[in-house]
A and B are shown apart, each in its own frame.
Chain A
Amino acid sequence: MFSSFLNLLTDPILQSSSLGSMLMCFSSSLIGVLVLLRKRSLIGETLSHASFPGIILSSALVDACCSSSQEWRAIPILLGSAISALIGFKMLEFLENQLKVKTDSALCFVLASFFGFGILMASHLQQIAPVTYQEALIFVYGQAATMTSLHVLLYGGFAVLTLGFILYFYRYLEAVIFDPVFAETLGIRSKKIDHVLFLLIVVAIVIGIRCVGIVLMAGMLIAPAVAAKPLTKSLSSFLVFSAFFGVVSAFVGNYLSVVTFHEKYSLPTGPMILLIASGFAVGSLLFSSKNGVVGRHLRARRFRLQCAIENALKKIWKEGIDRSPLDHKMRKRLYRLGWINREGLTLQGREKAEKIVRLHRLWEVYLVDYLGQRVDRVHQTAEELEHLILPGLEKDLTIFLKNPLNDPHHQKIPPVKGVYEEGPR
């Protein structure tokens, strides 16, 4: 198992495909963070489709000019697709800013038109040069397996370029993304930073489509960033986590597609990488401690349990342990907390229960005296408020209410040990 992991990095055939896709995922997941923060995630989808006519045109041109070395064809094709994607981006800007087309319509229209034009040329290319056509089609669904060391070098160069840009402009990017107005007052020309940013998106896409394909490129930009977002609080850690998820999913995706290799078919690499990355994304959205769905659910459950325990404790305090029917589970829980024993409440339990009752009655005083609620209505509200725990809440409430002795129902409020000095009686 471990040796086959290593194989992926040392085996001369597997090496370039796995390294290439890792580098590609590295740069796309870095850029993905910036795109996600600018709320332009879908631009990846449009620009990757917009690069298609460039791919077809440049492969046809390369085919016409020189038919010799296969390997170097990657460079002009890369250039062609970048130019075509840039034209697509300009079109998008023109549609949105000059013609006031809504963003989604503009994205969809540029996508369909450019891709359609590409397909138009491709259908002709199919007739005149079937081999070139097949090679150009690699870009639609991606093919990591046929990458060479030249690709790795190229992608490595672009990955370094991307990283360099982000490091060099880090402060500016931070300002432009989080507070464009503030950035403007600092004299940062956010337009310029934006332009360079979109240039980098084009670069990331152009590198990426060889590996995961035009169709899945948008996901490669989004998924690692989405996975990283709930785990981070600053831009720098966001970038680091996103790059980590990107590289790991590239490696695992490659590994799975190599492992499942079969005589007739193998699981395609691009989709595997994307599935792993979006698995990370969904997992982190679900399970991240603070904002995740599971976390929220757990917190709610814990709170409900705490309420149940406190209510049980209160009942014992009021009516004695013999009169309050406790189910087995709750009894066990209270034992374990050390709040009851066979005879009744322990000292700790009594203290705890008195504290809850005190809070309940204090809230009732507050609701009646200060908010003017009717006396017979406040019990239910106080029943819920008593479970709120904020540090110092009881003390503040006591001082605010001037340490009352009785609640609105003329019941005694359990006193605290050591009366707060500040509160006059």
Chain B
Amino acid sequence: MNPYWNQDFFGFFVVLFSRLIGKISHEDLFTDEIQMLVLSGVAISTVTLGNFLTMRKMTMLANSLSHTTLLGIVLSYILLLHFHTHLGMCLHLTPSIFLLAALFSAVLTTFCTEFARNRLKLQEDASIGLVFTTLFALGIILVTLFTRNSHIGVEVITGNSDALHVADIKMVWGVTAITLLFTALFFRHWILITFDENLALFLGVPVKGLHYLMMFLTALTLISAFRAAGILLVLSFIVGPPLIARLWSHKLFCVISLSLGFGVLFSILGVAVSRFCLSVYGLSFSTGAIVVTLIAMGYAISVLLTFRSSKGLLLNNKGATSA
């Protein structure tokens, strides 16, 4: 029996804390807890990448990745079907498809966009827009041809957080671990590329390779979040928490840690609000969409609180006095 059943907003947290104090074993996680774990995992990896993506002005590139993952998945399916005919046409993600799809979509998107910009001399915004819409259209047509069905559900966009199970936690946190590992390894390089690309080139840092790596990790996170949270939530995590954190602070480490905190906070709050709406008002909303809305509201509140003080309110003042 799910102890969160029929709990209101505060009751939810009471139950959560009592469960945290008591022993939670691996087997008896409830839906809400699985949701919270999966969403926070997604939040941590996307917000980490999102900080760099927003600083490098690449968020629209992440947006185009979120569209082209469809083509990546379709292509890797076709490729794997070629080798294993027993796979069948069911659309569940195995790790091999997963990695291949991320690789395909990241490389295709980045390469095509750069090609259009550098070789075909197309302006940047147009090349991003042209490439991702074309690749997405190609993806839809391939899906239609191969599944003999032109209907693509909205589940792709919003995810279906009610159908999660324990295996999803492993997958999402696995991707989070990969992202964190690479971020830790290349942290200095990414910072260098972000703030002074010319210096990075001068020092012999492989700027292109690191760019591709970032795109690959973003694609990987997007695909891992496909089922759980949907593409839209990932996009929201990429921009939202870093923007909110930047309202409160201007120091790099503060911004990164604050945004990570906000990401996890919003995912837990989202699950709580979703449960609250269901048990008190009988309204069932998509959890992913609730988190997106909460992030937007969080940004609005932060703007109201920090408006007219050109620096952030809390953390930056402390930083200023200590400096």
Contact = CB atoms under 8 A, between A and B. Distances in A.
A193 interface: no
Interface stretch (B54-62, B169-177, B188-196): B54-62
Contacts of A398: none
Contacts of B132: 219
A367 to B, nearest CB: 34
A137 B132 CA distance: 21
A71 to B, nearest CB: 24
Contact of A119 (B128, B144, B148, B154): B154
Given A42-B125, A219-B137, A119 B236 contact: no
B128 A42 contact: yes
B54 A41 contact: no
Contact of A116 (B150, B247, B292): B292
Interface in A103-125: 103-105, 107-109, 111-113, 115-117, 119-120, 122-124
B152 A278 contact: no
A113 B263 CA distance: 15
A39 B123 contact: yes
A268 B290 CA distance: 31
Contacts of A101: 243
Interface residues of B, number: 60
Contacts of B290: 120
Given A39-B123, A281-B130, A275 B150 contact: no
Q: Chain A interface mostly helix, strand, loop or mixed?
A: helix
Given A40-B125, A45-B63, A222 B130 contact: yes
B134 A274 contact: yes
Nearest to A122: B154
Given A109-B243, A275-B137, A104 B59 contact: yes
Contact of A117 (B57, B134, B296): B296
Contacts of A141: 140, 152
A219 B292 contact: no
B123 A267 contact: no
B289 A120 contact: yes
B232 A278 contact: no
A117 B293 contact: yes
B148 A42 contact: no
Given A108-B239, A111-B63, 10 more contacts: A108-B63, A109-B236, A112-B232, A115-B292, A116-B292, A116-B293, A124-B285, A226-B126, A265-B144, A285-B116
Interface of B: 54, 57-60, 62-63, 67, 116, 119-123, 125-126, 128-130, 132-134, 136-138, 140-141, 144-145, 148-150, 152, 154, 157-158, 232-233, 235-236, 238-240, 242-243, 247, 283-286, 288-293, 295-296, 299, 303
5 contacts: A41-B128, A112-B236, A112-B239, A116-B293, A119-B157
